[in-house]
Structure 1
Amino acid sequence: MCAMTFYNCHHFVLTISTVALLAGCSYVPDRLNPIEWANTGYDWLMGQDDYYDVELNLRETSKQERDVSALPKCLGSSLIEWHDCEGAYTFRNGDHYVGKWENGKRTGRGTYTWADGEKYVGEFRDGTKNGQGTVYFTDGELWVGQFRDGKWVGGEKYAAGEMPPAR
């Protein structure tokens, strides 16, 4: 039996390995780091637009943070319009970013997923990886540590199948 809480959901479709939610939510399973996403928009599901409504990582934010966001949703279809807000954006090459934006750049905590499925979850500054973060590679390898100006500067690397110690 599976129990999940959905926010702002109206309809959903369940498949064996993935839940694709229509009209307002999505759930993306990840075997190393399960992440639940809530989304108040739905255009992204059909790939019709570059602008997407704000999404939240439900496992990494407390209920209070989800209910009362310190930042407003990013509005507008151009990144240059996104100042001090939270939002999600899919780039023309298929890469996707969800998190905080400042002056049209990824800044603060966020998740960047490349079109090939690799993912970085962590801190950004001026549009690049800066600070604590984790990279999830498609082969199962995992890097947890510090990034500076978009480059890995230190931390722990885990081979496919290895798990970092529990926090």
Structure 2
Amino acid sequence: MPALTTYTTKILPDWVDYNGHLRDAFYLLIFSYATDALMNTLGLDSENREASGHSLFTLELHLNYLHEVKLGAEVEVHTQLIAHDAKRLHLYHSLHLVGEERELAGNEQMLLHVDLAGPQSAPFAGAPLEKLIALSQAHADLPRPALLGRVIGLPAQKKAPIQP
């Protein structure tokens, strides 16, 4: 099974900046909608949230901008489940022009399953757990994304005096 196509949209005029391309914040908006779609796929939709009182919270994310996205472009998000444990899931979203393979941006996320009554972390259970396990098995043989696990920083350099 390939990565899931979780969200498709057209780049709107309000999303474009003074350089003529998608504003950085709107990349994250697109990826956020893809996360919502993944939640629906896993059975963590609004009906389940209301019945169970459980949801997902974002703990951490990394966003890599690889290529410009212009006004009017039609884009899609491919979502790959990297790993999960009893309470967390690790996923990777990649942004593409519709029908194309080239990755325009990548977004790695760590999400926590939460009992909203606390709020406090809670283990996955029932149908969402079954769907999570099935998706994990379906994605087990997919290649790991090249940008997965990157750390931000400048390379170490010899210390030289700072010149005015």
TM-score category (smaller protein): under 0.3
TM-score (norm 1): 0.25
Structure having the higher strand fraction is 1
TM-score (norm 2): 0.26
Structure having the higher helix fraction is 2
Relative contact order, higher structure (CA 8 A, sep 6+): 2
Structure (1 or 2) with the larger CA radius of gyration: 2
